[in-house]
Amino acid sequence: MPTPHDALFKAFFSDPVHAVDVLRSALPGALSARIEWASLEVVPGSFVDDELRERQSDLPFRANLDFAHEPSDDDASIWLHVLFEHQSTEDPRMVFRMLRYMVRIWERAESERLPPIVAVVLHHSPKGWRVARRFSEIVAPYDPDLADFVPGFEIVVDDVSSMPDEALARRLEHAAVQLVLRVLRDGRATNDPAAWMLGVRDLIEQVRRATSDVEVLWLVIRYLWEVSRVEDPGPFLDAVRTTMGEPMGERATTLAESVLRRGVQQGLEQGLSRGRAAMLLHLMEQKFGALDESVRARVLHAADVDLEGWADRLFVATTVEALFGE
């Protein structure tokens, strides 16, 4: 099952326009200038280990390169293997893992000559990237006399963990790419996703004006909802409407309703009606304020069918009486 990080990363960066915006500024300038970015294309497939899919996602790309010599048909392009690492702990052997992924790409090569691969890690974590970038750094003992016998490649680490907003704005052309990198950087750490949305209101407005990127806002909503563990939908939905407009607010409301209904249904199937009643009471208090003891008793002792019906009406009802259908 895809993680929220994986879903956002692949849905967004599978668009070469978005990928180019990040990669062009992440790679060394001299190399970036020689890549024909208009030729960038996603290569179907993934090379990440099955057991690591909860922590990593990847997208392989291919692009033409302006070679210093006249290339043959076999060496006219390079691969850009982008790994998105979304774990909160560091993997000191990440550079070794990238080598394994590169070998898997080479195993699929159809020509005798292997294509060059630039390994890129898009990283965000509370502490940032602090481990090896060059393969030789993880080999011990390392000695200059052994240099010819040790792989010498280095991975490109695009670490957005603590990159200031101003730096992201300077390096990126598209507002949508700025917004996604900022939500990847901040979403998991924020305890107030509503306030976060209000804080990036100007950036959201730029994305709304770029009609081709409007759907990015829905990806951001889904991501924030899942990774920040929204407990009170009210302020969250209000912030969506304020920053993104009523249509997006309606979609977010539908999302919240479906999550609540699914939670109530799971509780009913597992015989956990009392626990789901407590959750419903919590959401009612967040929306309507303090509840009378008679209301609380009614919910706690309600039949399963009543709990399910009230959950369906919670996000459209304006009063407790309306919720109860009175």
| 291 burial level (CB within 10 Å; 0-12, 13-18, 19+) | middle
Question: For residues 102 and 117, what is the distance between their CA atoms, to the nearest angstrom?
Answer: 7
Q: What is the per-residue pLDDT for 258?
A: 77
What pLDDT score was predicted for residue 314? 81
26/80 Cα distance (integer angstroms): 12
How far, rounded to the nearest angstrom, does the alpha carbon of residue 9 sit from its chain's CA centroid?
5
Of 91, 95, 123, 118, the closest CA to residue 31 belongs to: 118
Q: What is the pLDDT of residue 273?
A: 56
pLDDT value of residue 308: 78
DSSP, res 200: T
280: left (phi over 0), alpha (psi -120 to 50) or beta: alpha
Phi first, then psi: what are they for 60, rounded to 5°? Answer: -85, 135
Mind listing the pLDDT tens digit for each residue in 108-166? 888 888 889 999 999 988 888 999 999 999 988 778 888 889 998 999 999 999 999 99
Bond prior to 4 in cis (omega within 30° of 0): no
Whole-number Å distance between alpha carbons of 26 and 40: 15
User: What pLDDT sits at residue 282?
Assistant: 74
Which residues fall within 8 angstroms of residue 174, CB to CB, at 6 or more apart?
17, 18, 21, 210, 213
The pLDDT value recorded for residue 262 is: 65
Which amino acid would we find at residue 273?
S
Burial (CB count within 10 angstroms: exposed 0-12, middle 13-18, buried 19+), residue 325: exposed
Question: pTM to 2 decimals?
Answer: 0.77
Q: Which two tokens stand for residue 189?
A: 């750490």
Task: Give strand pairing partners of 121.
Answer: 83, 157
Is residue 311 within 8 A of residue 323, CB to CB? The reply is no
Enter the tokens of residue 21: 């915006």
Query: For helices 215-227 and 201-209, what crossing angle results, to 10°?
Result: 150
pLDDT of 275 reads: 63
> Hey, what long-range contacts does 133-142 have (CB within 8 A, 24 or more apart)?
133/95, 133/157, 134/95, 135/95, 135/96, 135/99, 137/95, 138/92, 138/93, 138/95, 138/96
Q: Spell out the per-residue pLDDT of the chain, length 326, in tens.
A: 567 788 888 889 999 999 999 999 999 999 999 999 999 999 988 898 877 776 788 999 999 988 665 555 555 688 999 998 776 677 899 999 999 999 999 998 888 888 899 999 999 888 889 999 999 999 887 788 888 899 989 999 999 999 999 999 999 999 999 999 999 999 988 989 999 999 999 999 999 998 788 899 999 999 998 888 777 788 899 999 999 999 999 999 888 877 776 665 665 555 545 667 777 887 788 788 888 888 888 888 888 778 878 887 887 788 889 888 87
Alpha-carbon distance 187 to 11, whole Å? 17
pLDDT value at residue 19: 95
